[in-house]
Structure 1
Amino acid sequence: MNLKEKYGEWGIILGATEGVGKAFAEKIAKEGMNVVLVGRREEKLKDLGKSIEEQYGVQTKVIRADFAQDDCTDKIFEETKDLDMGFMSYVACFHTFGKLQDTPWEKHQQMINVNVVTFLKCFYHYLQIFTKQDRGAIINISSLTGWSSSPWNAQYGAGKSYILKLTEAVACECENTNVDVEVITLGTTITPSLLSNLPGGPAGEAVMKAAMAPEAVADEAFENLGKNLSVIAGEHNRKNLDNWRQNHTEDEYIRYMGSFYSDK
């Protein structure tokens, strides 16, 4: 039974333009689902939609939306209300580097909207649909920055922790139903953003050695769907997190996370 047969005709990827969002879109299309692609860069989404339609023989629908805007979900929900929705993934994220007090309030508001408010609106909306029809699946994306405080990136880490803990709790609530919910926590992942900010020399080589391809993240996420509530992507990330839990204090972990961003 493929995803379409199990969950429904359409899936929506919120933050589908590139990286993990693109990999998720291609994954559900390969499983027979039509795909709603949502993001800010409409032309890139249209190109992705065309490629998916040609490669997998499914339908796509592009919705331009800025997740930082208060009313962005109005259009998303209106344009999907008549579709047989069966899958949702919230991949979108936004962060800025710097101390809390040095970051303009407008940036804080944008991060709150993208990482908390819009996320919750989408989660709540599609979960209601899936629960009512007694079928559907949701995979939300968190980050290792959500497992500990993230100095110089504080609000982003807190937002990822919100996504992590909220999705874990809801996933448990949905056990023993026909709605599967999972959160997958990512470490370093090869995306255009990572590649454009990659340090040179040995530091950059170390980052690339530890980084996962978006396609590998997607494979792991869907392999665990319906089996596990919360997944840490990649054996390397799981081992590192276990090591920190067993051999270091919370203060050490916080300072370690801050060491990545203190010079930003």
Structure 2
Amino acid sequence: MEEFQHQLFTVLGALICFHILVKCILFLKYIFPHTWNALPQAFFRSQGEWAVVTGAGDGLGKAYCFELAKRGLNIVMISRTLEKLQRAAAEIEQATGQQVKIIQADFTKDSVYENIEESLEGLEIGVLVNNVGMLHNPLPCRFLNGPDVDESLINCNIISVTKMTQIVLKQMELRQKGLILNLSSGLGTFPCPLYTMYSASKAFICTFSKALQAEYKEKGIIIQVVAPFGVSTPMTMHQKPSLITKMPEEFVNESLDYVTFGDEIFGCLAHEILACILRLIPLWVFHSDRFQEAVLTTFSGYLKRNWKKP
């Protein structure tokens, strides 16, 4: 019996070590993306002539527009503020020489999709970036202490992804190729207290994207969810860049090298490492009252130190 137990634990230990070794080897792809699976220079252009980006007026959306234009695609920019779109479109055309088409749309409204579909008619769309999104509460707070819940967040964070995907995926299926990038958040990969509504809406994007990829991967279409932890954008109140908080241009440039690395990525090496570390921490730690109080206290102190009265 003792010999059997010894053999059993030996086999289990070997399997665990093998599993860890495989994970370490697979993680090397994020460190050496150009060596592991280098994308052909014309990869993005081979998917189609145009890229469509929502929430394109600034932040990550604008960065995706610039980078995809640099990689040879014409760009359709969709966002709410016309002036931002016009300014960014002119910059992209001048810097890259690619065509840029703009569509003004407020994704908090459910009535914008008929006009969007008509405006996209006849374009060969190879890439769709579902980037538009909003925070229910910009600073951490408990659910009842936050703003009243309305349809805006659901429309912007959830309905926009499903509707835009439905519009574009139809033609990708016919052509048997295409790339859809759905922007979620690291906070959507686990139930995140103090950002309850935002976390839940981004969790939808994770599940939706992975299920959709299972349905359409055999048809030559790549559907990937991108879940960053920290990017300095207007939505994050332009947090100071750091080892974790990336500038939009830096994050986008790196994340586009990972588009063939699976149905979920965190977008850059720093965020991939952070995700691995967070997975080692039991969920009850984040859900404990002590942790939540520590977060609220930390942000309260930060605001007192940095808030400038008008």
Amino acid at match of 1:192: P
Are residues 1:161 and 2:194 paired?
no
Alignment partner, residue 123 of structure 1: 165
CA RMSD between the two structures: 2.2
Q: Do residues 187 (structure 1) and 221 (structure 2) align? A: no
Query: Partner of 2:143 in structure 1?
Result: 100
Amino acid at match of 1:194: T
Query: Residue 276 of structure 2 aligns to a residue in which SS?
Result: helix
The match for 1:210 among 244, 247, 268 is 244
Q: 1:209 to 1:244 in 2, by over 3 A?
A: closer
Question: Mind listing any 5+ residue stretches in structure 1 that lack a counterpart?
Answer: 199-203
In the alignment, which residue of structure 2 is the partner of 1:113? 155
Structure 2 partner of 1:178: 220
- Decide which of 36, 41, 48 is 2:76's aligned counterpart: 36
Counterpart-to-counterpart distance in 1, 2:44 and 2:187: 33
> AA paired with 2:188?
G
Q: Equivalents in 2 of 1:175, 1:258: separation in Å? A: 43
Distance in 2 (CA, whole Å) between partners of 1:136 and 1:76 is 19
Shift of 1:259: 5.1
Corresponding residue SS for 2:184: strand
Task: After TM superposition, give the deviation of residue 257 of structure 1 in Å.
Answer: 7.0
Q: Which amino acid aligns with 2:285?
A: E
Please give the alpha-carbon distance, in whole angstroms, between the structure 2 residues aligned to 1:104 and 1:190.
23
Distance 1:13 1:138 in 2: 10
- Normalising by the residue count of structure 1, what TM-score does the alignment of the two structures yield? 0.87
**Structure 1 residue 135: Cα displacement:** 1.8
- Measure how far apart 1:100 and its partner are: 3.0
1:75-104 Cα offsets, whole Å, 9 max, x none, are: 111110121111100111111224334445
Amino acid at match of 2:163: K
Q: Which amino acid aligns with 1:37?
A: M
2:104 corresponds to which of 50, 57, 64: 64
Residue 110 (structure 2) pairs with residue 78 (structure 1): no
Quick one: distance in 2 between partners of 1:108 and 1:5? 39
Corresponding position of 1:16: 56
Which range moves more in the overlay, 125-134 or 221-230? 221-230
Equivalent AA in structure 2 for residue 163 of structure 1: I
% identical aligned pairs? 23
User: Kindly tell me: are residues 29 and 35 of structure 1, through their superposed partners in 2, closer, same or farther at Cα, counting changes over 3 Å?
Assistant: same
User: What is the aligned partner in structure 2 of residue 228 from structure 1?
Assistant: 262
Equivalent residues of 2:258, 2:267 under 8 A apart: no
Task: Indicate the SS of the match to 1:112.
Answer: helix
Q: Deviations over 1:105-141 (max 9, x none)?
A: 4x43111111111211111221122112212111111
The number of residue pairs the alignment matches comes to 254
Structure 2 length as normaliser, TM-score?
0.75
Query: Residues 157 and 261 (structure 1 numbering): CA distance in 2 closer, same or farther, change over 3 Å?
Result: farther
Q: Give, as a single letter, the amino acid of the residue that structure 2 aligns with 1:182.
A: Q
Which residue does the alignment assign to 1:239? 273
- C-alpha distance in 2, partners of 1:76/1:118? 11
Q: Give the aligned residue type for 1:253.
A: F
Is 1:254 the counterpart of 2:287 in the alignment? yes
Per-residue deviation, residues 133-165 of structure 1 (Å, max 9, x unmatched): 212111111111101222232111101111112
Unaligned runs of 5+ residues in structure 2 are 1-40, 301-310
Instruction: Decide which of 164, 180, 192 is 1:138's aligned counterpart.
Output: 180
Q: For the Cα contact (< 8 Å) 1:3–1:33, is it kept in 2?
A: no
The 1:104–1:257 alpha-carbon spacing in structure 2 relative to 1, beyond 3 Å, is closer
Q: Which of structures 1 and 2 has the bigger CA Rg?
A: 2
Higher-RCO chain (CA-CA 8 Å, sequence separation at least 6): 1
